[in-house]
Amino acid sequence: MSDISVVLRDASVVFTGRTDLVGRIRNTILRRPAASNTQEYTINALSNVNLSITRGERVGLIGLNGAGKSTLLKVMARIYPTTSGSAQTSGHVCPMFEFATGFEMNQSGWDNIKIRALLLGLKPREIKDKMQEIAEFSELGEFLNYPVRTYSAGMFIRLAFSVSTAINPEVLLLDEVMGAGDINFAHKAQERMKKFMTQGKILVFSSHSPDLVSDFCERTIWLEKGKIRMDGKTDQVLKAYSENYSASV
Amino acid sequence: MISQNSFIPGALKSLLEWRVWLYLGLQDVKARFRRSAIGPLWILINLAMMVLGAGVVYGVLLKQPMAEFLPYLTCGLIVWGFLVSSFVEGGYAFVGSEGYIKQFSFPKQIYLFRVLVSLFVVMLVGVVALAGTLLFFDRFNPMGWLYALPGVGILLIAGLGHITLSAYLSARFRDLPHALTGIFQVLFFVTPIMFPVTMLKDRGLDFVYKYNPLYYLVDVIRFPILEGTFAVKQDYMFCAAYLSLLWLVCLVLASKMDKKVVYML
């Protein structure tokens, strides 16, 4: 039984794709020179990332948009396989990513709670026990009886957040979800998150808020263009990060 | 370290998570009829319309006795519907579950089983119509249903193979489900569903069904139910050969594509 950990060795993720296949075929047939916007593209979302996170660590991920924060979290969650190098996550993973997707729009809030809970690895019996607590925390009340296509963006977040935090995760991975919902809920959510983190398991979360990162994490990783620019104590990394970007303005 | 082949471990792990895919599959069926007044009854109504409309016209055209032809047609249509869906709806197994695949750490093979569950449930509803038709013509034979069970097993294994094949390929080639819809419309007319096999034999057109695996998959269920005994041995052998080939292709393809699928969604 390996202990709870996240280890990446030379992990890289390269997205490849083509823009507009039909246009390319048409150009070939008509013998037109291919326009530059119908080419193959490759994006190095992560390049040779090495890191190791062990039990009890809380790690913040910072970086500009497109720096690779979400990709890195998805690699840790075993959702994205690495295209080269290796990634190993030991322990039960609880990912909390894009809360806007992964709902059955025509089904009720209750059904969606059950589906999400199952996908997070809860047993049906545990779900039954926790259903009421999840519903109460979400404060969605009678909306739970309605199909979720009637929900507002904030209500989706409440529902998903309530389910995800009701489980007992070993490795909690969060992508920009703190401060979700309205002021009331954001406050409650933070209280709940704090409870999580005292459980002595792994937390990795990405954020654009230096305050949140320094509140929660003693270690911070700064990503830039898919590479680790800096990995160390939160105050040092945040200081370097803000100096770097204020200098360039 | 990540093992080289992630398909087989993923599939085995998914199999153990039967609660998840069983629930998702059943929810899919429920969701499909959620806002309709009579819900799954539509499966029966559509089947009945097809059987009565096409059955009576073709029965007369082909000079078939109704008591034999209508149960034959009903049974054929039900199995055929399952086969077509296994290819066409299988194509949406990954594409339609994108939101889940990108959010949860579950092996994505559970979404293959999920489709199988909902297709099987739809087929079971059709079976009610079949039982009704057989009772109406006083041809209901409980033993025949028992003899059909191996055929149902074969159909499920084949269906899962079709779903797997179609799901992986369609993640890469989004045109595939559309193309398959058209292809199966053609295949429908060259597979003995709307006409009895003997008509082909009499006219020296044996090859139309002899090299058609879909015919054998239909026959190992239809023959026992209608005749009350096992289908001929060659049918089962042909099915076994088809299943082996199908799953060989599935394993090669899925193992090769498994790690790339998430990047194609």
Q: What is the pLDDT of residues A100-134, one digit of tens each?
A: 677 888 888 999 999 988 888 888 888 888 899 89
Of B6, B23, B99, the CB nearest to A101: B99
pTM, two decimal places: 0.87
Alpha carbon of B217: minimum distance to chain A alpha carbons (Å): 33
Q: Compute the half-sphere exposure of residue B159: CA atoms within 13 Å on the CB side of its CA.
A: 26
Chain B residues with CB inside 8 Å of A123's CB?
19
A98 with B6: Cβ contact below 8 A:
no
Enumerate residues 6+ apart whose C-beta is below 8 A from A55.
A3, A4, A5, A200, A201, A202
- Least CB-CB distance to B31: which of A88, A104, A121? A104
Half-sphere exposure of A51 (CA within 13 A, CB side): 28
Q: Which of B153, B94, B111 is nearest to B23 (CA)?
A: B111
Answer whether A2's CB lies under 8 Å from A72's CB: no
- The span from the CA of B114 to the CA of B27, in Å, is 10
Buried b or exposed e, range B80-103, using 16+ CB within 10 angstroms:
bbbbbbbbbbbbbbbbbbbebbbb
* A13 contacts A82 by C-beta, under 8 angstroms: yes
pLDDT band at A247 (very low <50, low <70, confident <90, very high): low
Is A150 an 8 Å CB contact of chain B? no
**What pLDDT, on a 0 to 100 scale, did the predictor assign at position B204?**
83
| Burial profile A199-235: b = 16 or more Cβ within 10 angstroms, e = fewer | eebbbbbbbeebebbebbbebbbbbbebbbbbeeebe
C-alpha span between B249 and B213 (Å, rounded)? 15
A197 confidence band (pLDDT: 50, 70, 90): low
Give the tokens for residue B205.
């057109």
* pLDDT for B1: 36
Please list every residue in chain A whose beta carbon sits closer than 8 Å to the beta carbon of residue B100. Answer: 102, 119
Backbone angles phi, psi at A136, to 5 degrees: -65, -45
Secondary structure in 3-state letters for chain B: CCCCCCHHHHHHHHHHCHHHHHHHHHHHHHHHCCCCCCCCHHHHHHHHHHHHHHHHHHHHHCCCCHHHHHHHHHHHHHHHHHHHHHHHHHHHCCHHHHHHHCCCCCCCCHHHHHHHHHHHHHHHHHHHHHHHHHHHCCCCCHHHHHHHHHHHHHHHHHHHHHHHHHHHHHHHCCCHHHHHHHHHHHHHHHCCCCCCHHHHHHCCCCHHHHCCHHHHHHHHHHHHHHHCCCCCHHHHHHHHHHHHHHHHHHHHHHHHHCCCHHHHC
pLDDT > 70: percent of chain B? 98
Question: Is the confidence at residue B3, as pLDDT, over 50?
Answer: no
Within an 8 Å CB–CB cutoff, is residue B174 touching chain A?
A: no
Interface contact A115-B98, CB threshold 8 A: no
| Higher local confidence (pLDDT), B72 or A207 | B72
pLDDT in tens, B208-249: 888 899 999 999 999 999 998 998 999 999 999 999 999 999
From chain A residues 13-72, the ones with a CB under 8 A of any chain B CB are: 15-16
Q: Which residues of A touch B18 (CB under 8 A)?
A: none
Comparing CB atoms, the residue among A77, A107, A119 nearest residue B27 is: A107
Residue A34 pLDDT greater than 60, yes or no: no
The Cα–Cα gap between A80 and A93 comes to 14
Judge: A114–B23 Cβ closer than 8 Å, yes or no.
Answer: yes
pLDDT, tens digit (0-9, with 9 covering 90-100), for B162-214 = 999 999 999 988 899 999 999 999 999 889 998 888 888 888 888 888 889 99
Contact assessment for residue B225 and residue B148, using Cβ atoms and an 8 Å cutoff:
yes
**Cβ–Cβ gap B27/A115 under 8 Å:** yes
Are A101 and B102 within 8 A, CB to CB?
yes
- B262 in A contact zone (CB under 8 Å): yes
Q: What is the pLDDT of residue B149?
A: 94
* Lowest-confidence segment of A243-247, B42-46, B179-183 by average pLDDT: A243-247
Spatial contact of A87 and B105, defined as CB atoms under 8 Å apart: no
Predicted confidence (pLDDT) per residue in A2-26, tens digit: 588 889 988 889 888 776 666 667 7
Rounded Cα distance between B194 and B189, Å, is: 8
Task: State mean pLDDT over B130-148.
Answer: 91
Quick one: how far is CA A14 from the chain centroid?
18
Give yes or no for A106 touching B (CB within 8 A): yes
Residue range B13-31: mean pLDDT, rounded: 89
Instruction: With a cut of 70, say whether residue A210 has pLDDT above it.
Output: yes
ipTM score of the complex? 0.80
Tell if the CB–CB gap between B19 and A123 is shorter than 8 Å: yes
From A15, A102, A118, residue closest to B20, measured CB to CB:
A118
Q: Please, what is the Cα angle at A179 between A178 and A183, to 5 degrees?
A: 155
Amino acid at A112: N
Asked if A81 lies within 8 A of B27 by C-beta distance, the reply is no
How does residue A178 score in pLDDT terms, banded at 50, 70 and 90?
low
Suggest the residue from B6, B18, B97, B105 to mutate for an interface test with chain A (most A CBs closer than 10 A).
B105
How far are the Cα atoms of A7, A39, A104, B91, B160 from residue B28, in angstroms, in the given order? 37, 38, 9, 15, 17
Chain B nearest-CA distance from A89, in A, is: 10
Exposed/middle/buried for A198, CB within 10 Å: 0-12, 13-18, 19+? exposed
Is the four-CA dihedral B96, B97, B101, B102 of positive or negative sign?
positive
Which residue on chain B is closest to A71 by alpha carbon? B102
Q: Is the pLDDT of residue B253 over 80?
A: yes
A-facing residues of B in 231-250 (CB < 8 A) are: none
Q: Rg (Cα) of chain B, in Å, rounded? A: 19
Tokens read off for B185: 């419309």
Average pLDDT, chain B: 90
* The two structure tokens encoding residue B209: 């069904």
Strand-pair category, A5-18 with A40-54: antiparallel
Asked if residue B2 has pLDDT above 50, the reply is: no
